[in-house]
Structures are given as structure tokens and as C-alpha cells.
Amino acid sequence: MEKARVVIAGTHSGVGKTTISIGIMGALRSKGYVVQGFKAGPDFIDPTYHTLVTGRNSRNLDSWILPKREIVRLFCEASEDADIAIVEGVMGLFDGLDGRNESGSTAQLAKLLRCPVIVVIDAFSMSRSAGATALGYKTFDPDLNIAGFILNKVGSDKHAKMCTEAIESATRLPVVGAVKSDHGITMEERHLGLIPTAERSYFEPVTSRIISSIHSGIDLEKVAEIALNAPPLKEETKQYVRFPKNRSKMWVALDQAFSFYYNDNITLLSSCGVDIEYFSPLVERSLPSDVCGLYLGGGFPEVYAIRLAKNTAILEAIRKASADGMPIYAECGGLMYLTNSITDFDGRKHEMTQVFDAETLMTRRLTLGYTAAEVEKDNILFPRNASVKGHEFHYSKILDVSQDVTYAYSMKRGVGIDGTHDGLIQDNTLASYMHLHFAYDRSIAKNLVSETQKYSRR
């Protein structure tokens, strides 16, 4: 496959990868390129920013969760009709699962996709030392194709010139641009990362300012040239999308409270035989009679707990649907929503759906990392004894879980709900802290769709 592509990586988290990446994506689009965005690793928020500036759904590529062949397949399928693919890295370029190998790192993903890499360096308070930093990144892994550097947070043209001279003389690689510090393009965050685009009514002005900064500070033609010089990529056999005639309808929660989804999960569900419609648990009052399944993703239900609790009609409707055997799959924020209540950061308790006899408590302690588990009990996604990979990312705990609860997973890596188990099962409802990418095993989507079709035939 001949595809222009480049990875925008960073020396460390917080270096400005997302700002630089969305700026480059938006700037290239404004120059007439069809741009496909990707995000390395398990991130739900950054891809939504890519989507806004490119007009195309950004995709996640995780080199630890997904099989290597699946990564290449997903990349090729998503970028097939694009002019250029931009992959935003995760953490620092070489950071991954642990300090001993490259598993899960941006570097590993770049090598799998045979992508040239442009490294973003935070130049604040540096000059000639930028050359030493760049040289270290160039030489650390000889198999990695580092093709250039971008300076971020430079103080002046003179500062940018000093850093550029140091880097180019040390590495013999180009500095393709320098972006000056600008407090007006700061990306606001909360406890799980950037504020989701679903909440940002002021996103357009910020985006415009970021893109303008990239236009003036980065040589976009040089970026495109580096991407065009990517070597051919052996394309995996396509998994053709099929749309069965006998289709069921699934409602997917999507609003300010629930927005954490892998776009490929939605695509795979649709290809397996469901019509996806989006709904808001903040607004909707009932479930239509033709809905045969629910998907409740992660997000920020704790931030919108007051509004969620006030919508008692939909809480009751979801509780009844679960008791009636409707297939319901929930992750993280969705799990919290399906418990008896959420106690927020201020200690205020808000009643939720009460599908599961358990309580959710927000804490100040972050649970973050990759997960691995074995399936203990057949459920709507997996048969017993199947292996599962995913990730968890939250500031909450599930407490006072009923003693007669049924767990879906036995944890081999990660915390889950109680340090040993994850995934609560009630009838045909499955809810876990673990986020799953359905391309890990394409039978996940098939199994869930099969359950919705069974429910539709009742």
C-alpha cells in the first residue's frame, strides 16, 4: 500500500502532541488534503479533536491490545481514500507497557506501520541542550525512522534559531517548524484529560487559532514530503463490511456524560447487523419499543450526576429493560450509571439506575493501565475461558457490591472492580471498568449483535 503517513510523537507527555497534531491535521485539510487521523494507544478524547478538524472519524491503534495484523488492517481500511494519514503518538515516543521493552509504545506502532516519525520537543528553557535531546531520540532505536523534529513553546525567533541549529548540527535531520508559546491555545483539562469536544461550545475559535499558529510556524510542505516518503506498507486482507438484511436496532449513549467510544467498535457492530442510533440519558425519557440493545460507554457521569439522577423516567426504563433481558453492555462510566448511586467528589449522593446492587464513590486516586483477564462466565460478549485484553482509566470505586453478584472476568493484569474481578453480570447486562476494543477479537461484536437479534425475535 502506497500511503503518505507520518507519526507525530513527543519526548514526553504534556509536550504538546495533541495541539501540534490537530493543528497539522487542520492546516493540511485547509490546503486541500484529505486527512485521516489516528491516535496511538487507548485514548477516547484526543480522537474527537482529530475528527472535528479533519471531518473524518479518527481511529485508535493500540499495539498492545490489538493483534499486529489487525493494526495494519484497520489503518489501511480507514486511510484508503485519504491523501495523508497523521498518527498522534501517546506519552513519550518510547514509553509503553514497562521500561524493559517497546510493547504498547508509539515507537512500536510506528515500526509496525513503517511510518516516519516527527518528534515534538518542548523547547521552553532550552537552547543547545535541544540538540542533545534530539540526538538521544534519534539514536536510541536504530530501527525507528525518525525523520525530523518540531519545536514547541519557543520564546522568540532567536530562541527557535538557536535550538534549530543545535538539533540540525547534532542529528543531520531537519527541524520542520517551531511554534511559539501562546496561552490562547491552551487545551483545557479535567481529571480524565482534555475536556471532551461534546462540551466545548468554544472549540472553533481555539481550533482556528491553533491552525493559524501551525500555518505560520511549521513547514507543512516538508511534513507532507516526509509523509510521502514513507515506504510501501504490506496491506492485510480486508475484512469486508457486510450489512445483513435482518437487522436489529441498538441505542448508543452519546452526550456530555457519555462519549468514550472507539469508532471501530461502532463500525464493527454496524457491519454485524445492527442499526446504530444515538441517544442521551440526560434528555431521553423512554426507550422505543424497537430498540433491542444498549451500549453505555465511558465518560463523565459524575460531572452530570445531578442531571442524570433527575431523569428518573429513563433510569426506570433502563432498569426495566435490563430485567426484561435486553442486552446491555456498559464500560466504566456506563458501569457507574448502572449502580445504585454515584457519590461525587463533593460527597453528594445521586441515585442512578439500580440495575446492580452496588455503590459508586468518586475518589482522588487514579486507576490507570492495561488490563488482561480470563472470562469466568458466559456473557453477551464472550464464552467462558476466553482471554480478554483492554484498559482501565477512572477515579472511582465500586463499593458494597452484593454478595450474590456474578462476575464476568478474573483479572490477570489490572485492578478491575475489586482487585481480582471485573464485569458485573445481571441477566443480559454486562458492565465493567475494562474498556474493550472490539477489533481485539471480531467475534465480540458478532456475539453482542447476535444477542440483540435474539431479543428482537422474542
C-alpha 272/C-alpha 270 separation (Å) is: 5
Burial of 364 (0-12, 13-18, 19+ CB in 10 A): exposed
The H or E element that residue 5 is part of is strand 4-10
Shortest CA distance to 328 belongs to which of 429, 238, 227, 194? 429
User: Is the same domain home to 330 and 407?
Assistant: yes
User: Is the same domain home to 211 and 297?
Assistant: no
pLDDT digits (tens, 9 = 90+) for 52-62: 999 999 999 99
> Which of 76, 115, 272, 332 is flagged as catalytic?
332
User: Is the same domain home to 357 and 434?
Assistant: yes
Q: For 117-140, what is the mean pLDDT?
A: 97
User: Is the same domain home to 190 and 290?
Assistant: no
Coil, strand, or helix at residue 392? strand
User: Is the same domain home to 152 and 300?
Assistant: no
Q: Is residue 238 part of a domain?
A: no
Stated pTM of the model: 0.93
Shortest CA distance to 298 belongs to which of 48, 60, 111, 44? 44
Per-residue pLDDT band for 243 (boundaries 50, 70, 90) equals low
User: Is the same domain home to 223 and 286?
Assistant: no
What total number of domains does the chain contain?
2
The β-bridge partners of 61 are: 40
Q: Is residue 170 part of a domain?
A: yes
C-alpha 387/C-alpha 373 separation (Å) is: 6
User: Is the same domain home to 345 and 429?
Assistant: yes
The H or E element that residue 323 is part of is helix 312-323
Q: Is residue 25 part of a domain?
A: yes
pLDDT digits (tens, 9 = 90+) for 412-421: 999 999 999 9
pLDDT the model gives residue 457: 87
Strands lying side by side in the sheet with 117-122: 59-61, 35-40, 84-88, 4-10, 117-122, 146-154, 175-180
Q: Domain with 382 in it: what CATH number? A: 3.40.50.880
pLDDT the model gives residue 204: 67
User: Is the same domain home to 208 and 279?
Assistant: no
User: Is the same domain home to 145 and 259?
Assistant: no
Full residue range of the structural domain in which residue 139 is found: 4-228
Contacts of 270 (CB under 8 A, 6+ apart): 241, 243, 276
Is 272 considered catalytic here? no
pLDDT digits (tens, 9 = 90+) for 171-199: 999 999 999 987 656 666 666 666 676 66
Q: Is residue 436 part of a domain?
A: yes
pLDDT the model gives residue 206: 76
User: Is the same domain home to 224 and 252?
Assistant: no
Q: Is residue 243 part of a domain?
A: no
Q: Is residue 239 part of a domain?
A: no
Q: Domain with 153 in it: what CATH number? A: 3.40.50.300
Q: Is residue 241 part of a domain?
A: no
Q: What nine digits make up the cell of 55?
A: 471531518
